[in-house]
A and B are shown apart, each in its own frame.
Chain A
């Protein structure tokens, strides 16, 4: 595919992994599965933090990883916005500085304006000058999303983005992300084990178990018709 993200990765060493899927621009794909199912490893492979043994990862037609051609772009050269599970905000920088860090070498004033407008976009315009330790979990998550979007990424990767916040905040953040995703033009991959996240946010769904994709398809279809008992149990469908 010329536009969007195409992922084919496999490995046998350390732990087995075999995953293949495509994500179109503007589409949200959820990778769902229990802990250790390999979903985060797939996400890390796309970002360049993990190098699978074989496979090919193409983004908008450009190869980010191609084992046959011995090509593996370093993470900084892949335009992938990554929202870490623990947010991984730089603790010595304010929220604005965290976002500015992803805006490259542009003039400082321009970077600050852009960072503040990105924070406003995630409803965090008033706390821009606070350090991460002075922000709540939900506010930290918003900074992490703003920072991931700052590079105008070609793909947005989110690793359990709501797992570190309470139920109320989770609902609010999910609602905000639902609104935000309509404006985002890039493929989005969401790693989660929460089916509410999947129902509300994902267009398509891949169910992973022990490093393999057991079933994939439109969210409503997979949730309504799990292919077998294992998948139904993984999705907690009775």
Chain B
């Protein structure tokens, strides 16, 4: 069992959820309540990482993050480290890859709140933040929870993009999925099986917990 890869994966998953979910709440709500000309194009762009082959996405991120790119140079001049083959680069790639997994359920949840409850909240004297905090977030919570679970589970399992952008540097970019691949390549089936079982257990537990909490919240709301 590669504990270093395991903890790195957990750290990557947790940070991705922590950074992506608040942004997805703001963007998902904005998309849910607004109607404008370019909305379908933005929604299609949000879905793009879902349909793009991971290696293709990884290739573009690698090109975009490289030392020759504007983003790569800018990041390096500010933080003093490269975006390619580093944990920071892996995290940014993970954030981009997970946008549809976080955004989709959250946007749908805010759409389900409906305009009448927002109007009722406004007629109670609630401003934007109070309305979001008191009315919309509690009602959209099952969707937010689903977004968190999908993002976390998908980050643990992500392979193609991670390999392209991060490679397999122990303690820096080698996630548990990459470690499983490495063990299989080395014919170490026992270690690969052990890690695969841990990943399976975590994924099942995450989904089960999400279903349980979502149903509980659903029952509470009647």
Cβ-defined contact, A92 with B121, below 8 A: no
Cβ-defined contact, B116 with A88, below 8 A: yes
- Considering the complex, give the chain A residue whose CB is closest to the CB of B126: A76
Expressed in whole angstroms, the Cα–Cα distance for A90 and B116 within the complex equals 10
Which bucket holds chain B's interface residue count?
Answer: 10 to 19
Cβ-defined contact, B123 with A91, below 8 A: no
For B127, list chain A residues within 8 Å (CB): 76
Which bucket holds chain A's interface residue count?
Answer: 20 to 34
- Binary A-proximity of B124-138 (CB < 8 A = 1, otherwise 0): 111100000011001
Q: CB of A81 within 8 A of chain B?
A: yes
Q: CB of B139 within 8 A of chain A?
A: yes
For B124, list chain A residues within 8 Å (CB): 76, 101-102, 147, 150-151
Cβ-defined contact, B120 with A88, below 8 A: yes
B111 vs chain A, min Cβ distance (A): 16
Give the most central of A74, A90, A132, A151: most B CB within 10 Å: A90
A55 vs chain B, min Cβ distance (A): 20
Cβ-defined contact, B138 with A75, below 8 A: no
- Considering the complex, give the chain B residue whose CB is closest to the CB of A82: B123
Expressed in whole angstroms, the Cα–Cα distance for A92 and B117 within the complex equals 11
Q: CB of B35 within 8 A of chain A?
A: no
Q: CB of B119 within 8 A of chain A?
A: yes
For B125, list chain A residues within 8 Å (CB): 76, 102, 104, 151
For B220, list chain A residues within 8 Å (CB): 92, 131
Cβ-defined contact, B222 with A47, below 8 A: no
B128 vs chain A, min Cβ distance (A): 9
- Considering the complex, give the chain B residue whose CB is closest to the CB of A102: B124
B142 vs chain A, min Cβ distance (A): 11
Cβ-defined contact, A92 with B221, below 8 A: yes
Among the listed B123, B135, B221, which residue makes an inter-chain contact with A47, where contact means beta carbons less than 8 Å apart? B123
B93 vs chain A, min Cβ distance (A): 37
Q: Which of A1-53 contact B (CB under 8 A)?
A: 47-49
Among the listed B116, B119, B126, B222, which residue makes an inter-chain contact with A101, where contact means beta carbons less than 8 Å apart? B126
Q: CB of B50 within 8 A of chain A?
A: no
Among the listed A82, A132, A133, which residue makes an inter-chain contact with B119, where contact means beta carbons less than 8 Å apart? A82
Cβ-defined contact, B123 with A90, below 8 A: no
Q: Which of A87-142 contact B (CB under 8 A)?
A: 88-92, 101-102, 104, 131-134
Expressed in whole angstroms, the Cα–Cα distance for A28 and B56 within the complex equals 66
For A104, list chain B residues within 8 Å (CB): 125
Cβ-defined contact, A81 with B222, below 8 A: no
- Binary B-proximity of A52-96 (CB < 8 A = 1, otherwise 0): 000000000000000000000011100011101010111110000
CB contact under 8 A between A91 and B119, given known A102-B125, A151-B125: no
A16 vs chain B, min Cβ distance (A): 21
- Binary A-proximity of B98-128 (CB < 8 A = 1, otherwise 0): 0000000000000000001101111111110
Give the most central of B116, B124, B127, B222: most A CB within 10 Å: B124
Cβ-defined contact, B138 with A92, below 8 A: yes
Cβ-defined contact, B122 with A90, below 8 A: no
Give the most central of A48, A81, A88, A131: most B CB within 10 Å: A88
For A49, list chain B residues within 8 Å (CB): 119, 122
Cβ-defined contact, B123 with A80, below 8 A: yes
For A81, list chain B residues within 8 Å (CB): 123
A-B contact pairs, 20 of them (CB 8 A): A75-B119, A75-B122, A76-B124, A76-B125, A76-B126, A82-B119, A82-B120, A84-B120, A88-B119, A90-B117, A90-B135, A91-B139, A91-B222, A102-B123, A102-B124, A131-B220, A131-B221, A133-B222, A147-B120, A151-B125
Q: A49-B122, A131-B220 are in contact. List 12 more A-B contacts (CB 8 A).
A: A48-B122, A76-B122, A76-B126, A84-B120, A88-B119, A90-B139, A91-B139, A101-B126, A131-B221, A133-B221, A133-B222, A134-B222
Please name the 5 residue pairs, one residue from A and one from B, whose CB atoms are nearest each other, closest first: A133-B222, A88-B120, A102-B124, A75-B122, A88-B116
